[in-house]
Structure 1
Amino acid sequence: MSYKKYYQRFIQAHPQTQHYACHSHHYWPDVTRDAMLQYWDDTARLVDDKWDMMFGQKVPKVQRLIADILQVRQADQLVFAPNTHELLFRLLSCFDWSAGLKVLTTDSEFHSFTRQINRLAEDNRVQVVKVPTEPFATFEQRFVAAAAELQPDLVFFSQVFFNSGMVVTELDSLVGQLEQCCRATVAVDGYHGFMALPTDLSALDGRIFYLAGSYKYAQGGEGCCFMLVPAQNKFRPLYTGWFAEFGALAGVKSQQVGYATDGYQFAGATMDLTALYRLQAVLELFVADGVTIAAIHQHVQQLQQVFLAKLDQLQHAWLNRQQLIVNDLACHGHFLTFRGPDVKAVAEMSALLKQHQIETDYRGDRLRFGFAMYHDAADINLHCLSKVSP
């Protein structure tokens, strides 16, 4: 099945481009344009009264759509923010740094988390232990062993690692092992998993924090990230804003700062909700058309197989199946990552491909090709590789 009908505006703007950077900058479905205009119209109609409508209608609707995708019961335990970094720092602000906060994570987390945790470690505010994800076959065993030894306050890892495509396929099992060996708060970066891999968090509901957003596979663009917050937790974020007490602003104030009794206990302050409108439009479109995450995932897996088959025919010196970071496509994210000879060679390859209107991206010595609903097998054309230097 072709899903190109949803993306005509972006495709028409780039008719000759093979866009394999969708794991970073995903095309938006056409419905998102109308959604942005609707936000403007609602703002003009309601002005300051729009916040009651947003929190009374829009936010609950999108919460429910996301909760259905993740198969969690309490949709109101989802909180929104412009980016996951804001949500992450709000979670970090719940801990007493003066007591020696201990964080267990990996060497393969996204830049915002890595940069922030490194900066805190520079000032000796936190003790950080990073477990290498490679070799992948022993990662979970080594990660649990590190948790047992460190006894961390916070454990943070990805559902799909951004620099390889490796998937933690049994989230329930890993979290269960962590709970048996330590009493840490567990947070999972689900950005490369949400709306890409079928994800069932029903067994983890109330046990983990889960962060993701709309910029990548959810296709709503930047500005609408979310965090699933365990119900009945005892946290009082130090980094907090007025959204965290929305609905009680006109009430009698106690001497202690109050928080919402649902996921909005982790809310911040005023944000542009245009992205929330876009995300709602995309998710409602897929529900109406019966487009499931399982169908999207199957489509992408088929594209990956076609891509690799065409790459096999070219027999490139290093851009080949043997250099895949993760070669088991049955438990793989929606992008393929190839290890090049060095950083310079990978940067040059990405630039050469761009000259032939093939958009990729790279991280160090790793070149990434992502696949999306707006690709068809017939779109994949790698003949230019026979003309570029190895």
Structure 2
Amino acid sequence: MYKQFYQGFLTANKGKQHFACHSHHYWPDVTRDAMLEYWDDSARLVDDKWRYIFSEKVPETQQLIADILQLPHPEQIVFAPNTHELVMRLISCFDLRKPLRILSTDSEFHSFSRQVKRLAEYDNVQLDSLATEPFSTFEQRFIQAASNQDYDIIFVSQVFFNSGYAISDLTQFVQQLAEQSKAMIVIDGYHGFMALPTDLSTVSERIFYVAGSYKYAQAGEGCCFMAVPLGSEHRPLYTGWFAEFGTLAAEKTATTLYSEDGFRFAGSTMDFTALYRLNAVLRLFKQQGITVGRSHQYVQKLQQVFLDKLEIVQHAKLNSSSLLMHDLNHHGHFLTFKLANASEAAELASQLKRAGIETDYRGERLRFGFGLYHDSADYDLSCLKETS
């Protein structure tokens, strides 16, 4: 149905069944043209490209993202090459000479979990990580935990990378957190953006929402973003010249100036090729009427067909018993199977790869992702019998 937009990657990977869309998503063909466009603009404008990018490309991309997430103030979106930069800028808003209390989970992606684990080696940093399992009680337990202490930062995923479990009602969840705590609330939306229909209109002034282009936005690495609450007066210690881009020509003062919009969290010089790619993909989807809702429904159908075909195979390790989450209505765009241990997951992933099925694993969890370039008619799981 949508394969026509991905001919470049599909041709280069003929014969493979690519179930790693949640990690290394194929790019639509328009991204190649976008990369050439960036080269042409750089050659045409040279140093003047910065003014063009910030006056044309950045606002257009901000608006495209804002439309998808129902954000009322596109100018509050800031870009960075990766989410780690954005996470560190958020943390640097706090005086690390004083106590810092962080509430999170045991299932956050490495950009956050590794960094705060290292910070927690300091005596003044307290990190409380709540177990996501059992999933049925997670939201209630997390909201309760938020009320137990006076936290400075609350960081939690919209969809958890190691399971696919998704917060059932993000708006309600955030509102309940905000009622319990005055902390900075950060939502890692990387596995939610462009996968699950997301409306941030009523919580945009209370949360920092972090996501990027690498996964379901299908534009590759290098363009992450953060939606910043309107009126934010935070002054990140980790800051770069983009954060005062509009004031560079002004007379310098003793005070470090920050942009009055989301770019107060900006960094420094970056390669905007990825932003061009993201811009091209989002414009393509808008032109073709491919909404997140339509995409999500398509992927849910793919997942169901996959599970039906898997049932026929009767694989000893990949089956309904090892499937971590069964409810596709509260689920991201990948299925996770929990195996006995990490070695077993690694070995099975390797066997599948040799059979032409691309997956990936995290610890003992093997993941199968689904994307728009899939056609369920192409699914051939007969080779799984050889790995059982």
Does the alignment reach a TM-score above 0.5? yes
Aligned length: 388
Q: Is the 8 A contact 2:178 2:206 kept in 1?
A: no
Structure 2 counterpart SS, 1:352:
helix
Structure 2 counterpart SS, 1:247:
helix
Q: Does 1:263 align with 2:248?
A: no
How big is the shift at 1:125?
4.5
**Alignment correspondent of 2:201:** 202
Give the residue type in structure 2 aligned to 1:101: L
**Alignment correspondent of 1:168:** 167
For each residue in 1:251-271, what CA deviation from the matched residue of structure 2 results, as whole angstroms up to 9, or x when unmatched?
A: 112211000000000000000
**Alignment correspondent of 1:383:** 382
**Alignment correspondent of 1:245:** 244
**Alignment correspondent of 2:293:** 294
Q: How does 1:106-255 map to 2 (within 5 A)?
A: 106-255=105-254
For each residue in 1:171-193, what CA deviation from the matched residue of structure 2 results, as whole angstroms up to 9, or x when unmatched?
A: 12221221222211100000000
The CA distance in 1 between the partners of 2:363 and 2:65, in whole Å, is 33
For each residue in 1:229-251, what CA deviation from the matched residue of structure 2 results, as whole angstroms up to 9, or x when unmatched?
A: 00112210100000000021111
Q: Does 1:284 align with 2:283?
A: yes
The CA distance in 2 between the partners of 1:123 and 1:187, in whole Å, is 22
The CA distance in 2 between the partners of 1:342 and 1:165, in whole Å, is 18
Structure 2 counterpart SS, 1:80:
strand
The CA distance in 2 between the partners of 1:71 and 1:370, in whole Å, is 26
The CA distance in 2 between the partners of 1:247 and 1:182, in whole Å, is 34
How big is the shift at 1:124?
2.8
Moved more, 138-147 or 209-218: 138-147
Task: Give the TM-score normalised by structure 2.
Answer: 0.99
Q: What 5-or-longer segments of structure 2 have no aligned partner?
A: none
Q: Is the 8 A contact 2:175 2:203 kept in 1?
A: no
The CA distance in 2 between the partners of 1:97 and 1:264, in whole Å, is 23
The CA distance in 1 between the partners of 2:52 and 2:114, in whole Å, is 37
For each residue in 1:123-170, what CA deviation from the matched residue of structure 2 results, as whole angstroms up to 9, or x when unmatched?
A: 335210000000011111111121111221000000000000000021
**Alignment correspondent of 1:34:** 33
Task: Give the TM-score normalised by structure 1.
Answer: 0.98
Q: Is the 8 A contact 2:190 2:212 kept in 1?
A: yes
Structure 2 counterpart SS, 1:254:
coil
Structure 1 counterpart SS, 2:128:
strand
For each residue in 1:271-290, what CA deviation from the matched residue of structure 2 results, as whole angstroms up to 9, or x when unmatched?
A: 00000100111110111111
For each residue in 1:287-341, what CA deviation from the matched residue of structure 2 results, as whole angstroms up to 9, or x when unmatched?
A: 1111111111011000000000011111112210221111101111000000112
Structure 2 counterpart SS, 1:387:
helix
Give the residue type in structure 1 aligned to 2:336: T
The CA distance in 2 between the partners of 1:311 and 1:115, in whole Å, is 35
Question: Structure 1: which 4+ aligned runs deviate by more than 6 Å?
Answer: none
The CA distance in 2 between the partners of 1:179 and 1:97, in whole Å, is 23
Structure 2 counterpart SS, 1:362:
strand
Q: What 5-or-longer segments of structure 1 have no aligned partner?
A: none
User: Over aligned residues, Cα RMSD in angstroms?
Assistant: 0.8
The CA distance in 2 between the partners of 1:56 and 1:245, in whole Å, is 15
The CA distance in 1 between the partners of 2:179 and 2:14, in whole Å, is 53
Structure 1 counterpart SS, 2:225:
strand
**Alignment correspondent of 2:70:** 71
**Alignment correspondent of 1:43:** 42
Give the residue type in structure 2 aligned to 1:341: A
The CA distance in 2 between the partners of 1:322 and 1:233, in whole Å, is 47
Structure 2 counterpart SS, 1:220:
coil
**Alignment correspondent of 2:93:** 94
Give the residue type in structure 2 aligned to 1:334: H
For each residue in 1:77-123, what CA deviation from the matched residue of structure 2 results, as whole angstroms up to 9, or x when unmatched?
A: 00000001000100100011222110000000001211000000113
**Alignment correspondent of 1:362:** 361
The CA distance in 2 between the partners of 1:348 and 1:256, in whole Å, is 56
